Amino acid sequence: MTEYKNLALEELLRHTHDHASWYWLGIAYIARKDFNNAAVWYEKTMNDSGNEWAGKARFNLAQLHRGGMLLRASKDEALRLFEKNLNGCMSCLYAGFLYFNGTETKKDTAKGKSLVEKAIELLIKEDGNDNYFTQSECYDIGWVYYKENNGKAYQWFKKCIERCNLNYESDRTLKDLANRNMDVLRRDGVKDI
């Protein structure tokens, strides 16, 4: 072990097959806002077959692409990664958002809505409710319904508002957007379902 004593932790971990450490090193880089190094460790984790951390690493890497946090971020790549686990609620949800809003090369609003509804079903089947969704996810679900003038948008915008912490400017903005969208639906004669 003395040959490793002067090596950085990252270099030491390159010589192991400790998938959990690789994954958590990616998390540590995220905390430091070093997204490209986080991606390196997530890719290493997910590309080493047969480990229980691969799915989590794939999801986190997809989120980095979706959020545009990497030098070569691609929504198409995020979609490809999310689609590898459409049995998982959150992968299904984010794939749905990407299809609904479009990526660089793909847009399919019907498929997007279908995936969002599947994600809702998966979560309710697993947890018995949809409390796991954050305020921004509730807003985005509401947006899917809003764009087709569907009354289900109301319930999701209401959930968004209920989950907002008004101590945060971003949540106050989200609440205002949800309220405005509900006002537009009412003005357009869309009934709350």
The tens digit of pLDDT for each residue in 127-149 reads 888 999 999 999 999 999 999 99
Q: Residue 124 CB: number of other CB atoms within 10 A?
A: 14
Average pLDDT value for the chain: 91
Domains of the chain by residue range: 133-193
pLDDT at 14: 67
pTM of the model: 0.85
Would you say residue 117 has pLDDT above 60? yes
Tell me how far CA of residue 167 lies from CA of 28, 163, 171, in angstroms.
27, 12, 8
On the question of pLDDT at 123 being above 80, the answer is yes
* Structure confidence at residue 22 as a pLDDT band (50, 70, 90): confident
Q: How many CA atoms lie within 13 A of 70 on its CB side?
A: 20
pLDDT at site 21: 85
* Residue 8: band (very low, low, confident or very high) from pLDDT cuts 50, 70, 90: low
